[in-house]
Amino acid sequence: MYDKMDQLETIIDNGEKENVEFKEFLKEDVHLKDDRRQGLACQMKHRLIMGHGTAIYVLGVTDGGSLNGISRPTLEESLSVLNCIAIEAGAKVADCKEYTVDGGYVALATIKSQVAAKEHILVGTAGHVDHGKSTLIASLVTGMQDDGSGKTRIFMDVLPHEIERGLSADLSYGVYGFCSGKTIRLKNPLSKKEKAGVVESAEKLISFVDTVGHEPWLRTTIRGIVGQKLDYGLIVVAADDGVTHVTREHLGILLAMDLPTIVAITKIDRANKERVAEVERHISDVLKTVGRIPLRIRSKSDLHILSNKLNKLSEGIIVPVIRTSAVTKEGFDIFDQLLFQLPKRNAENAKPFQMYIDKAYQVSGVGTVVSGSIKQGEVKVGDQLQLGPTSDGEAISVKAQSIEMHYYRIDKASAGDIVGIALKGISPKDIRRGMVLCADDLKAVREFEAEILILNHPTCIKCGYEPVVHMETIAEAATFKQLDRDYMMAGQTGLVRMRFKFCPYHVHEGQKFIFREGKSKGIGRVVRVFGS
């Protein structure tokens, strides 16, 4: 029994709104009849969506907000009916506070959505600037046709200068889903509530991580591909421009991360059939040179052939190539069906929770929030976690206050989910990109040994070389302390001992990374760590 009325009085004063509902009482013989029960369940689903997965029901209050305490038997019956309605709406009564009012009772019930376990596929886009990555994704998630000038891309670009210039400068995210095999698209992709509604109702979610095609921002592109728990890569090639050096570079990054890849030929409305076929042949030649088998998907029969080879796609051996146009929407039905068929990869839910931090910020009324994609394991609201390492190698104890996925409040999240987690016990200024949020003890690593391959370098690499290492969301200068030979050149592999220049990070054996310095690039895999 709660005597303090502050919370109840605040809710009553604010009245019914987005996720708050007043009910004087609920009767089994009235409110659980088929039509009435279904109507109340639909009303509750609406309240849950508006409240990002949480709704507040006040029992013992009239629609006008007058406190009208009810008897104990009436309260218990009302709570029983409310629970039945919650189950119908795919939710549960998570908490209930009771108050005494004029000899009767008023209850404040918190309803929480129970999001059923669903398949969540993460797809990272890559490709040359102005080849139509953002436009393709925006048209896919909305179903809208583009005007040929990038009208739909505004739904992906979020920064003012991105919108003004028509060039993406940071990672952006798109989402749509499937229910009973049918697509669920966003009528208003700028609405946070509508994105939450997709997460609520979809049985399978497709999240896109839209990267940057402009060459000077390669660092951001690498962050999107290496720093997210992607299932698949999507290379976009414009039919009127064809394969470029950036196309090859981005494809190389996807393959270095062992990501199965799909190729979308965009803007086919801008090129004749001969030109489209020429670009398709060029793509096939490039894929064959790196040991991949291109498979042209032009019809449902082609898609049926691919459906029997999905394991080869998941292993990265087969690469589907699809012709698309955001203006005519040609190829979009094929794209939808392909994405619907794609299986989830590497769902490492049995391992302890781990998420590398991509962003940290302050949200009014919520506090400190960190975002990223979960690398492994599961996290629940209320979990005690470790965050770090700090610059001096320490771990900070924090608590997961709440979790959101595409603006939808959830009780738990799993490997591969893109989430924002509100943390108690830390300020955003104490968090940097590349830190890890985890359930078990984290490692503070300064030095590690790695197997590396030099992809491109104009001369030779010796001890003292300092490239930037991109590993998960880490982007830190590292010094080559020791090589297994006097020097290394492009095309050579070898062992090297490396040391982060400024801060320690959570690093473990088996992690893959990319290192770059100017036009010099290489890939590597951690084989041993030495601590801080």
Domains of the chain: 6-113 (3.30.110), 119-341 (3.40.50.300), 354-438 (2.40.30.10), 447-531 (2.40.30.10)
Q: What pLDDT score does 102 carry?
A: 78
Q: Within 241-314, where are the H helices?
A: 245-256, 273-289, 300-307, 310-314
Cα–Cα distance, 183 to 340 (Å, whole number): 9
Q: What pLDDT score does 215 carry?
A: 58
Q: What pLDDT score does 217 carry?
A: 60
pLDDT, tens only, 252-285: 888 888 899 999 999 999 999 999 999 999 999 9
Q: Which amino acid is at 444?
A: A
Per the listing, tokens 């001890």 go with 463
Q: What pLDDT score does 168 carry?
A: 45
> Token pair of 387, please?
């965050």
Q: What pLDDT score does 160 carry?
A: 42
DSSP 461: B
Count other Cβ atoms within 10 Å, centred on residue 141. Answer: 26
Cα–Cα distance, 52 to 424 (Å, whole number): 20
- pTM for the model stands at 0.75
Cα–Cα distance, 116 to 338 (Å, whole number): 23
Cα–Cα distance, 288 to 303 (Å, whole number): 20
Q: What pLDDT score does 463 carry?
A: 93
Residue numbers in the chain where pLDDT is lower than 50: 1-3, 157, 159-169
Q: What pLDDT score does 214 carry?
A: 58
